[in-house]
Amino acid sequence: MIRQAKISDADKLLKLWDLGYKDTPFSDMEYDRLHVQRVFAAVCTFEEKFFCKVVEEDGELLGILIGAVDKNFWGVPVSQTIISYSLKESDKLIRQFTQWSQSKGAKMVTIHTVEGKPRYEAMVSKLGFSNVGGVYTKEL
């Protein structure tokens, strides 16, 4: 099930982020868990500005996607992921994020990912995104 994230999800999500972080180019660097928790709380508080959904199954959190719409250098509304990690239902999360982005006036959606994940790359491509210099974009 995909649902809106809640501040009370923070502890479970921090464990999930620890797992996801190991697969990034930044895995050899430490990150400030307290800072991550504060950002997550802020994102949950401002639902109208941020897309913040989790994947949950039998009470266990399996994924999250946080994103926002902002204007690019030319003033065009563009939506981008702040964090995206899921062990399940990534395609549904991305579809919902794309629909949310469009409802917020975004003209393009950008999904950040780590290269070398062929199944994820194939799924994102199937959803209409193109790899542009290490990020995937889709015009709306």
Q: Residue 88 is part of a domain; what is its CATH number?
A: 3.40.630.30
Q: What is the count of structural domains for the chain?
A: 1
* Comparison of pLDDT for 41 and 99, the residue scoring more: 99
Q: Residue 27: pLDDT above 80?
A: no
Average pLDDT for residues 62-70, to the nearest whole number?
90
Q: Residue 24: pLDDT above 70?
A: no
The residue range of the domain holding 29 is 2-139
Q: How far, in Å, CA of 124 to CA of 140, rounded?
A: 15
Q: Note the pLDDT of residue 48.
A: 83
Q: Note the pLDDT of residue 62.
A: 87
Q: What is the pLDDT of residues 87-99, one digit of tens each?
A: 789 899 999 999 9
Q: How far, in Å, CA of 125 to CA of 18, rounded?
A: 26
**With contact defined as beta carbons under 8 Å apart, do 101 and 140 qualify?**
yes
